[in-house]
A = this chain, B = another copy of it.
Amino acid sequence: MYFASDNWAGAHRSIAERLFRESDGFAAAYGASALDRHVERRFAEVFEREVTVLFVGTGTAANSLSLASVQRPGGITFCHSEAHVIADECGAPDFFSGARLLGVPGAEGKIDPEKLRVKITAFPQTAVQHGRATAVTITQATEAGTVYTLAEIDKIAAIAQKDKLSLHMDGARFANALVSLGVSPAEMTWKRGIDMLSFGGTKNGCWCAEAIVFFNPAQANEMPFIRKRAAQLFSKSRFIAAQFEAYFENDLWLDLARHANGMSDRLRAGIIASNASRLAWPTSANEVFAVIPKRAAKTAVERGAKFYEWPVPPATPELVGPSETLIRLVTSFATDDADVDGFLDCLAS
**Which of B16, B72, B89 interacts with A228 by CB under 8 Å?**
B89
Once the chains bind, are B99 and A98 in contact (CB under 8 Å)? no
Once the chains bind, are B16 and A334 in contact (CB under 8 Å)? no
Q: Give bound CA distance, A165 to B231, whole Å.
A: 24
Q: Does A185 contact B (CB under 8 A)?
A: no
Once the chains bind, are B96 and A91 in contact (CB under 8 Å)? no
Chain A residues with a Cβ closer than 8 Å to the other chain, count: 74
Q: Does A88 contact B (CB under 8 A)?
A: yes
Once the chains bind, are A92 and B23 in contact (CB under 8 Å)? no
Q: Give bound CA distance, A95 to B91, whole Å.
A: 12
Q: Using an 8 Å CB-CB cutoff, how does the interface string of A42-68 with B read, 1 for contact, 0 for none?
A: 000000000000001111110010001
Q: Give bound CA distance, A16 to B232, whole Å.
A: 22
Contacts of A90 in B (CB 8 A): 73-74, 128-131, 225, 228-229
Among the stretches A1-9, A154-162, A257-265, A319-327, the one at the interface with B is A1-9
Once the chains bind, are A91 and B58 in contact (CB under 8 Å)? no
Query: Restricting to A174-203, which residues have a CB under 8 Å from any CB of B?
Result: 202-203
Q: Give bound CA distance, A239 to B202, whole Å.
A: 11
**Which of B26, B128, B232 interacts with A2 by CB under 8 Å?**
B26
Q: Does A226 contact B (CB under 8 A)?
A: yes
**Which of B28, B207, B230 interacts with A8 by CB under 8 Å?**
B28
Q: Using an 8 Å CB-CB cutoff, how does the interface string of A212-225 with B read, 1 for contact, 0 for none?
A: 00000000001011
Query: Restricting to A1-52, which residues have a CB under 8 Å from any CB of B?
Result: 2, 4-5, 7-13, 15-17, 19-20, 22-30
Contacts of A4 in B (CB 8 A): 28-29
Contacts of A248 in B (CB 8 A): none
Q: Give bound CA distance, A161 to B2, whole Å.
A: 39
Q: Does A110 contact B (CB under 8 A)?
A: no
Q: Does A149 contact B (CB under 8 A)?
A: no
Q: Give bound CA distance, A17 to B24, whole Å.
A: 12
**Which of B25, B130, B225 interacts with A10 by CB under 8 Å?**
B25
Once the chains bind, are B232 and A91 in contact (CB under 8 Å)? no
Q: Give bound CA distance, A342 to B64, whole Å.
A: 46
Q: Give bound CA distance, A92 to B222, whole Å.
A: 15
Nearest-neighbour CB distance to chain B for A148, whole angstroms, equals: 23
Chain A residues close to B by CB (< 8 Å): 2, 4-5, 7-13, 15-17, 19-20, 22-30, 56-61, 64, 68, 72-74, 76, 87-92, 94-96, 98-101, 128-132, 202-203, 207-208, 222, 224-226, 228-236, 239, 306, 334
Please give 18 more A-B residue pairs, beta carbons under 8 A apart, in addition to A57-B231, A202-B235: A2-B26, A5-B235, A7-B236, A8-B26, A11-B239, A12-B23, A15-B23, A19-B19, A19-B207, A57-B234, A58-B234, A59-B235, A90-B129, A92-B229, A100-B100, A129-B228, A207-B239, A208-B239
Subset of 6 A-B contacts with CB under 8 Å: A7-B235, A16-B20, A60-B231, A73-B229, A74-B90, A90-B130
